[in-house]
Structure 1
Amino acid sequence: MAEIPIEDVSYEDFGLLLSTIYPKTVFPHDKTVEKLLEMADRFIMPSVIGHVEYHLLHNTKIENEKLMWMADAYGMKELLEKTVRQTNTIEKAKLLKNSPEYQKLSKDAKATVLDRIMQLI
């Protein structure tokens, strides 16, 4: 594997990334999850994505639409399943459709949402 340059990453952000796995684990929180996901994806650190997914499954206040986008974008299957299940009314489906995150979802995620909506009607 070739080297991955870290030129445009701040010292603080890179420290945050590494602190999720070494030496004393610092757990993700709602203010750090997006940056952690971005860097974990860039630096190929699936264990960090796992830490973030656990937080998002159990301890977050982030709205469902944004969670769905993050789950889709970073391959967090369990979180995607949970967010799709939580789209359990037509009103919530309309809220998702009108959110900026909906446009960012992959075709597969949109198909999963459509399957869920079909269960509701």
Structure 2
Amino acid sequence: FVVNDKSTVEYRINIISSERGEPIVNHFTLPNRRSDVIMKIGGKKLHVSKELLAVHSPVFEAMFFGNYAENGKEEVEVKDVVYEEFLDLLSVIYPDSEEIKGRTVLHILKLADRFQMKDVMEQMKKHLTQSKEFNAAKKLLIADQYRLDSVRVRLLHSVSMLRTRYRNIFLSPEYDNFSKDMKSAICDRFVKI
């Protein structure tokens, strides 16, 4: 519209999707109303909720509320964990969680397995079966490494797993890293189709 010889244009923007503007790290660098413990990882500090971590992990439940040295401490050090990878794990379990990305799947699986986070493992299973980020051989290798039997069964029995795809799996570099059980399951399924 035009007012006093000046044009004004008004736009209405409907955001369908976007990348998160604020990095997830900013949610944990300072104390907030949900944080009650500081986790020190790789020399860096994260302000997190003991309750939330304990709800998702029996390991954290024992650490924060069991008969362990960490119980009652205001600061807890977690060793053998990469800071950025732990942030990705937090981004999955916190209420304002982010969508799982292909680049994060492997380390989130590793941490979810280490900390016995069943709900996170379920999310990873769902993501793996639905994603197109990994080929069938890579998905089977991940399922094998993390004992994701439901993913393995679904992949081996999916309609899209035709003989050609099985041949590709046999020839893939991942095949050499499969367990004997996985190789046997693949061969059994190949014979049946």
State the match for 1:106 in structure 2: 179
Please say if residues 87 and 116 of structure 1, whose CA atoms lie closer than 8 Å, have aligned partners that are also in contact.
no
Question: How far 1:68 sits from its partner (Å)?
Answer: 0.5
**Equivalent-residue separation in structure 2 for 1:61 and 1:12 (angstroms):** 21
Greater C-alpha Rg: 2
Residues 18-97 of structure 1 correspond to what in structure 2 (within 5 A)?
A: 18-85=90-157, 86-89=160-163, 91-97=164-170
Q: How many residues align?
A: 118
Give the gaps of 5 or more residues in structure 1.
Answer: none
Give every structure 1 segment of 4 or more consecutive aligned residues whose post-TM-superposition deviation is greater than 4 Å.
none
CA RMSD of aligned residues (A): 2.1
**Equivalent-residue separation in structure 2 for 1:62 and 1:24 (angstroms):** 26
Which one-letter code corresponds to 1:30 in the other structure?
G
Larger relative contact order (C-alpha < 8 A, sep ≥ 6)?
1
More helix by share: 1
Please say if residues 88 and 108 of structure 2, whose CA atoms lie closer than 8 Å, have aligned partners that are also in contact.
yes
**What TM-score does the superposition give when structure 1 sets the normalisation length?**
0.82
Question: How far 1:77 sits from its partner (Å)?
Answer: 2.0
**Equivalent-residue separation in structure 2 for 1:57 and 1:71 (angstroms):** 10
For each residue in 1:64-119, what CA deviation from the matched residue of structure 2 results, as whole angstroms up to 9, or x when unmatched? 10000111111222211122234321x32222122221122122211111111111
Q: Percent identity?
A: 31
More strand by share: 2
Question: How far 1:47 sits from its partner (Å)?
Answer: 1.7
Please say if residues 72 and 109 of structure 1, whose CA atoms lie closer than 8 Å, have aligned partners that are also in contact.
yes
Question: How far 1:33 sits from its partner (Å)?
Answer: 0.6
**Equivalent-residue separation in structure 2 for 1:28 and 1:6 (angstroms):** 23
For each residue in 1:29-66, what CA deviation from the matched residue of structure 2 results, as whole angstroms up to 9, or x when unmatched? 21111111111112222221111111112233311100
Please say if residues 84 and 113 of structure 1, whose CA atoms lie closer than 8 Å, have aligned partners that are also in contact.
yes
Do residues 11 (structure 1) and 107 (structure 2) align? no
**What TM-score does the superposition give when structure 2 sets the normalisation length?**
0.54
**Equivalent-residue separation in structure 1 for 2:87 and 2:188 (angstroms):** 41
